[in-house]
Every structure is written in C-alpha cells, then in structure tokens.
Amino acid sequence: MTQKEKLEKLNEKMIACKKCALRKTCTQVVPGEGSANASIVLIGEGPGKKEDELGRPFVGAAGKFLDEMLSVIKLEREDVYIANTVKCRPPENRDPSTKEKETCWPWLEKQIAIIQPKVIITLGRHSMNLFLPDEKISEAHGKSFEINFPGMGKQTFFALYHPAAALYNGSMRQTLIDDFKKISKLLKK
Ligand code: URA
C-alpha cells in the first residue's frame, strides 16, 4: 500500500471514530490534508467553525494566514501535511481538554508514522505540549528540538505561535513570520 492509500484508510477509520464526546457536537471529523510523503507536518489545535463546516483543516482566517506564510518559504499547502491535535471541533471553539487530546492522540501518531516527516511543526501551545510538555511557547517559539520521542525515534520538532493568536497581534504576527522563515534552513539540514 502507498503512503497515500494508508492515509486514506486511516481517514476512513477516523471518520468513524466515536471515542469521545466531541463527535456528538461537531458536524464532521477533520482528519487532515496534504501530501502523504511531506517533509513537513504542521499540527494545529483543533478544527474551528469553518473547518467543521468544510471537513478540512485551516480553511478560515488563520488558514489564509498559514497559506501566506507557506508561500513566503515557497511552499504550498499541497506540499505539506496539515493536521490537528483533535480531529473534531470543540464546542464554541473552547480549548480541547487533556482527555480529548489523549483520546485523539493515536490518530495523530499513526498519521506521523505513515508520513515520516523530516520536521514536525507545532502551531500553538496545545500542539507543542503534546511533544514538549515542559516548554513554554513564549520561550520555545522559533526553536527546533531534536528529541527521541516514544514510538517515533529521533524526531525534529519546530515550535511556532498559533496563526490565530498572531493574526491580530502586530508584534506576534511579525515574530511568527520571522520564525516561519527559519523552516527552509531546517529542511536543508
Ligand atoms: N485552528 C486550528 O488549530 N486548526 C484548524 O484546523 C483551524 C484553526
């Protein structure tokens, strides 16, 4: 089976998942999208209203900003893989709970195992703390971490602010753009 076929099969299972209560309140599951053999996997927090409506990750205002930043480093959304810590929208866009993130974690773990990216980019603290539980986003953003992650072996992580948090905050926005530009260098390593 190709990586693409493996992801498609996994998506079917994710769509049928009823392991937590989020599935009862969301419209549809948002498994993720992009290239099955991408060098970069970007991980956000969870689907928002627009993502829930369309079944696709990062398609609202934060997604537009993410696309702009990708184009700065000459990448398109089709070149990377975009996923979330939870695949179903938390009601009223509240933060996903620790329990919900833990319940959804095996899906993300399987996505990463299939794609085998060079770099995992975490967007915001929820995503970062899944892999780097002791880091603070204000200190870790723009930095890469090489860690031996359980079940994944040695993996490179790169922490970024969440595009939604930076969208309407001038200085954070510029910091995020500057941090984003470091990705090209990281990929060349
Ligand atoms: N914010 C996220 O964290 N993920 C999305 O898919 C959209 C907005």
CA 90 – ligand 1 centroid, Å: 11
CA 168 – ligand 1 centroid, Å: 16
| Biggest distance spanned by C-alpha atoms of the chain | 46
Q: Is residue 81 assigned to a domain?
A: yes
Q: Is residue 164 assigned to a domain?
A: yes
CA–CA dist 127, 130 (Å, integer): 5
Quick one: average pLDDT of 35-51? 98
Query: Residue 99 in 3-state DSSP?
Result: helix
Ramachandran class of 148: left when φ > 0, alpha when ψ lies in -120 to 50, beta otherwise? beta
CATH number (domain holding residue 173): 3.40.470.10
CA 113 – ligand 1 centroid, Å: 21
Q: Name the token pair of 117.
A: 């990216």
| pTM of the full structure | 0.97
Q: Is residue 65 assigned to a domain?
A: yes
Query: Which ligand 1 atom minimizes the distance to the CA of 85?
Result: 3
Binned at pLDDT 50, 70 and 90, residue 189 comes out as confident
Q: Is residue 148 assigned to a domain?
A: yes
CA–CA dist 75, 71 (Å, integer): 5
pLDDT tens-digit readout, 127-182: 999 999 999 999 999 999 999 988 888 999 999 999 999 998 999 999 999 999 99
Opening angle at CA 71, ends 181 and 95, nearest 5: 75
CA 146 – ligand 1 centroid, Å: 25
Q: Which domain holds residue 96?
A: 3-9+29-188
Q: Is residue 20 assigned to a domain?
A: no
Query: Which ligand 1 atom minimizes the distance to the CA of 162?
Result: 3
Q: Is residue 35 assigned to a domain?
A: yes
Cα–Cα separations (whole angstroms), residue 43 to 17, 24, 32, 34, 171: 19, 23, 9, 12, 22
Q: How many domains is the chain built from?
A: 1
CA–CA dist 137, 184 (Å, integer): 21
CA 104 – ligand 1 centroid, Å: 15
Q: Is residue 16 assigned to a domain?
A: no
Q: Is residue 17 assigned to a domain?
A: no
How high is the pLDDT of residue 150? 84
pLDDT tens-digit readout, 46-99: 999 999 999 999 999 999 999 999 999 999 999 999 999 999 999 999 999 999
Query: Which ligand 1 atom minimizes the distance to the CA of 123?
Result: 3
Ligand 1 first shell, C-beta below 6 A: 44-48, 51, 57-58, 62-63, 84, 164
**Which of the listed residues 84, 85, 137 should we mutate to test ligand 1's pocket, taking the one with most ligand atoms within 8 A of CB?**
84
